[in-house]
Amino acid sequence: MFDSLSDRLGGVFDRLRGRGALTEADVRTAMREVRVALLEADVALPVARDFVDKVTEQAIGQNVLRSITPGQQVVKIVHDALVAMLGADASELLLDVTPPAVVMMVGLQGSGKTTTTAKIAKRLSSGAMGRERKKVLMASLDVNRPAAQEQLATLGTQVEVSTLPIIAGQQPVEIARRALQAAKLQGYDVLMLDTAGRLHVDQALMDEMKAVAEIAQPQEILLVVDSLTGQDAVNVATSFSEQVPLTGVVLTRMDGDARGGAALSMRAVTGKPIKFAGVGEKMDALEAFHPERVAGRILGMGDVVSLVERAAETIQQEDAERMAMKMAKGQFDLNDLRGQLAQMRRMGGLGALAGMMPGMKKAQNALNDAGGDKILLRMDAIITSMTVKERAKPELVNAKRKIRIAKGSGTTVQDVNKLLKMHQEMSTAMKKIKKMGGIKGMMSMLG
């Protein structure tokens, strides 16, 4: 997510941080670079311009330049401005009405609407992140695309969420009415309506959305847009928000979005909060959109909070805290790595964690090339074949030991090298966090 933007900004900030003193001209140069980076990330021009103006004004206006750590201060100003641009607070779904609360999903065909409907339903019905479990019913109103209703039914079975029985020939408004009635009669907490998509925004589609909204009176109308379409995603969101009272946006395919323009401009252009990010095809590849954390990711600080949170869902709380502490202290040996690998397997494999952890992304790409999640088991075997000392002090592993470990684990010396390299990259990233004052320090720096 945001890799190329993150790299560009990282370069700019490294140069800023690398200097003891900053002049106004330094800041202006850096901000020109930030502007180019944003435009290259496909951020809407007025949004990028506004952003850079605000940041420049703050950075040269306050006592930033005379402070002890001007570079760091400028990064913080950029960070805060990014958070503001992304929408300040995380906004979850508002479902506090007399049940059933209706969530209506709208968007173009192929945006990931049906997939996201099922992902959200799964999240609500499983009580993810310690929230109360909801009884959810899903209904597809898509009568345009052949088999759209069946697709939702199949996903429903997969995520163990009920779907409204299909009656062939029914029109969207009729289905909505029937779904509402079923949800009321059968005591559902939430009704999710997956509406029909089109290839382009057209009036017939808008009229249909309005008619359905009129009947269903949704608490949430979420627009699903494909983040990979960049500016188009923002244009689609603008057209929809002019006609349908949207309450939020879901950006899908963020897993493949290196540029991030849609995410960055969406809030400013539409005024609607981004509520979720789709980060993969699997049913649990959906994240609540936290502007703070996304800004952190963009600035290359990794998303340690999400990582720890995800871990906490799968493992015991103490384990998560211990892991966070180790990470904060910059102590991270092969035993820790092994624990992490086991957790990763439990958390849905490498893909699910991509980009969350600083320094992990590159290692993960390499791993995925080398055979994806199977590699996790192989890595576990490698660490198991090491002695306790070697695990605590990986630098002990010399050429001779590598051969022994490779034999013992049924792998090759190259595999052992890869693992050691990955550990090294992770440790370096951890140390960076430590330099920023640990996770706590990082958070406080982030405000």
Binding-site ranges for ligand GDP (CB under 6 A)? 107, 109-115, 197, 252-253, 255-256, 278-281, 285
Q: Please say which residue, 69 or 235, places its beta carbon nearer to ligand GDP.
A: 235
Q: Please say which residue, 147 or 370, places its beta carbon nearer to ligand GDP.
A: 147
Q: Please tell me whether 253 is known to bind a ligand.
A: yes
Q: Which residue is nearest to ligand GDP (CB)?
A: 278
Instruction: State the minimum distance, in angstroms, from the CB of residue 286 to ligand GDP.
Output: 7
Instruction: State the minimum distance, in angstroms, from the CB of residue 258 to ligand GDP.
Output: 13
Q: Please tell me whether 109 is known to bind a ligand.
A: yes
Q: Please say which residue, 136 or 222, places its beta carbon nearer to ligand GDP.
A: 222
Q: Please tell me whether 56 is known to bind a ligand.
A: no
Q: Please tell me whether 198 is known to bind a ligand.
A: yes
List C-alpha distances in Å: 93 to 3, 209, 271, 274. Answer: 28, 20, 16, 11
* Burial annotation 257-281 (CB, 10 A radius, 16+ → b, else e): bebbbbbbbbbbbbebbbbbbbbbe
Instruction: State the minimum distance, in angstroms, from the CB of residue 418 to ligand GDP.
Output: 25
Instruction: State the minimum distance, in angstroms, from the CB of residue 38 to ligand GDP.
Output: 23
Going 284 to 312 to 431 to 27, the CA torsion angle's sign is positive
Q: Are the beta carbons of 358 and 438 closer than 8 angstroms?
A: no
Q: Please tell me whether 371 is known to bind a ligand.
A: no
Q: Please tell me whether 23 is known to bind a ligand.
A: no
Distance CA 382, CA 386 (A): 7
Beta bridge partners of 252: 226
- Tracing tokens 């808008």 back to the chain, one arrives at 206
Task: Count other Cβ atoms within 10 Å, centred on residue 237.
Answer: 26
Q: Please tell me whether 247 is known to bind a ligand.
A: no
Beta-carbon contacts of 14 under 8 Å, excluding residues fewer than 6 positions away, are: none
Q: Please tell me whether 387 is known to bind a ligand.
A: no
Q: Please say which residue, 106 or 433, places its beta carbon nearer to ligand GDP.
A: 106
Kindly give the pairing relationship between strand 274-278 and strand 286-288. Answer: antiparallel
Distance CA 385, CA 194 (A): 50
Q: Please say which residue, 284 or 390, places its beta carbon nearer to ligand GDP.
A: 284
Note the residue count of the chain: 447
Q: Please say which residue, 145 or 404, places its beta carbon nearer to ligand GDP.
A: 145
Beta bridge partners of 220: 103
Q: Please tell me whether 193 is known to bind a ligand.
A: no
Instruction: State the minimum distance, in angstroms, from the CB of residue 352 to ligand GDP.
Output: 12
Q: Please say which residue, 107 or 260, places its beta carbon nearer to ligand GDP.
A: 107
For the CA atoms of 436, 440, 444, 447, what is the dihedral angle to 10 degrees? Answer: 110
DSSP 240-258: HHHHS---EEEEE-GGG-S
For the CA atoms of 364, 368, 370, 373, what is the dihedral angle to 10 degrees? Answer: 100
Instruction: State the minimum distance, in angstroms, from the CB of residue 208 to ligand GDP.
Output: 15
Instruction: State the minimum distance, in angstroms, from the CB of residue 151 to ligand GDP.
Output: 6
Q: Please tell me whether 107 is known to bind a ligand.
A: yes
Q: Please say which residue, 220 or 415, places its beta carbon nearer to ligand GDP.
A: 220
Q: Please tell me whether 248 is known to bind a ligand.
A: no
Instruction: State the minimum distance, in angstroms, from the CB of residue 365 to ligand GDP.
Output: 15
Is 214 exposed, middle or buried (CB count within 10 Å of its CB: 0-12, 13-18, 19+)? exposed
Beta-carbon contacts of 324 under 8 Å, excluding residues fewer than 6 positions away, are: 304, 308, 439
Angle at 146 between CA 145 and CA 149, to 5 degrees: 85
Instruction: State the minimum distance, in angstroms, from the CB of residue 119 to ligand GDP.
Output: 8
Q: Residue 139: helix, strand or coil by DSSP?
A: strand
Q: Please say which residue, 228 or 382, places its beta carbon nearer to ligand GDP.
A: 228
List residues forming the annotated binding site for GTP: 107-114, 194-198, 252-255
Which residues participate in the annotated binding site? 107-114, 194-198, 252-255
